[in-house]
Structure 1
């Protein structure tokens, strides 16, 4: 009898009949709109915020989810008013919903952009002011391997139109691939992050594309 006895661990490993799912091992359901490696922004442009993973990449793996929370906070309860007012509302929601390192940075940038619009700036000027606000709070400069590597070129190219903005942003993202991040959470992995673009910079490219698409649709 002893030779037929299985340990509990062996019994758990024993496969069930074909097509039969063993009890207690249910497959985790994906949220509506989710996709492998990212999450579609519900109700918005069909653009994914990358769910960056730790390990061979950069960062701590939660940026995509954090930005998706920020998007949902707006899409579930959109506000109405002037452009500057909307940026201020979005700033408060990003600070609360995104949290972490990125939440306060985006909040500061949006408030600075709102203030620039209230002072009479155009949209390129507001974008430049927003990037200044992010840099002032976070202390990052181009070359540090952060979202600023994508944002600063985007702001500099803004007077030349959307195509120039996106081209400059893509180049900024590519510039983070071989460097070692010196600021932000991506700096935690050090040289192990080389060969991968900075998640924050990639996210900037993602939402800039979404903003342009939304403008075209509107």
Structure 2
């Protein structure tokens, strides 16, 4: 493939928005157990705002797309999710190097820059029961698959599988960051809502790139 173009990236964000809308109540239910019971509603509102800007002003290139997405999420999503997801996309923007389409290694590096931003912003590490527990293994799987010569679509499918495993592995964890950390041992036994939405994000990327490669 020639690289992930802006149209494919828009499909990614639209697919993520649709997934969040479909899972809004489930995400809020997870957050009700260990947080503020607003993760689903907040993420749905933020991604609806992202889709609205895509409809109104289609971005010229990946960097513009990521920058506007990040700014929109920071402005429209409440709680910790807005700054964290916003930082993810804002950090991705300069990592594209201004390219019109992102080669697999550039896309992977941009995602890694986004994760680094999330870690820096939230001061979270793997094992803290946060979105990092889905994103970190996903990007490790992505890098490994690309290094083994897999296509970007196949590598992202592996990343999505790893994100889902990471999401599931948050259930027995003791929360060490965020609102859930206030619960101490009562946070054990609950799946993390941030890791759950992050897994949806990676799955949507796998779907969008698979569609581009099949076209």
Using the size of structure 2 for normalisation, the TM-score is 0.74
Give 1:58 shift: 2.0
Aligned to 1:61: 37
Give 1:54 shift: 6.7
Aligned residues of 1:144 and 1:183 also touching (Cα < 8 A) = yes
Give 1:190 shift: 2.4
| Number of residue pairs matched by the alignment | 179
Point out which structure has higher relative CO (alpha carbons under 8 A, 6+ apart).
2
Unaligned runs of 5+ in 1: 1-40
Aligned residues of 2:34 and 2:180 also touching (Cα < 8 A) = yes
Change (3 A) 1:44 1:203: closer
CA RMSD of aligned residues (A): 2.5
**Residue 202 of structure 2: SS of its match in structure 1?**
helix
Which of 97, 103, 111 is the aligned partner of 1:118?
97
Give 1:101 shift: 0.8
Change (3 A) 1:211 1:42: closer
Structure number with greater Rg is: 1
Aligned to 2:174: 180
The answer to whether residue 214 in structure 2 is matched with residue 204 in structure 1 is no
The answer to whether residue 70 in structure 2 is matched with residue 91 in structure 1 is yes
Give 1:208 shift: 1.9
**Residue 189 of structure 1: SS of its match in structure 2?**
helix
Aligned residues of 2:32 and 2:38 also touching (Cα < 8 A) = no
Q: Deviations over 1:159-206 (max 9, x none)?
A: 320221012111211221111110012223222221111110011112
The answer to whether residue 104 in structure 2 is matched with residue 104 in structure 1 is no
Aligned to 1:132: 116
Change (3 A) 1:54 1:125: closer
Using the size of structure 1 for normalisation, the TM-score is 0.73
Give 1:56 shift: 7.4
Where has structure 1 moved over 4 Å in runs of 4 or more? none
Aligned residues of 1:128 and 1:156 also touching (Cα < 8 A) = no
Q: Which has more helix, going by share of residues?
A: 2
Which of 48, 64, 70 is the aligned partner of 1:72?
48
Name the CA distance, whole Å, in 2 between partners of 1:169 and 1:42. 14
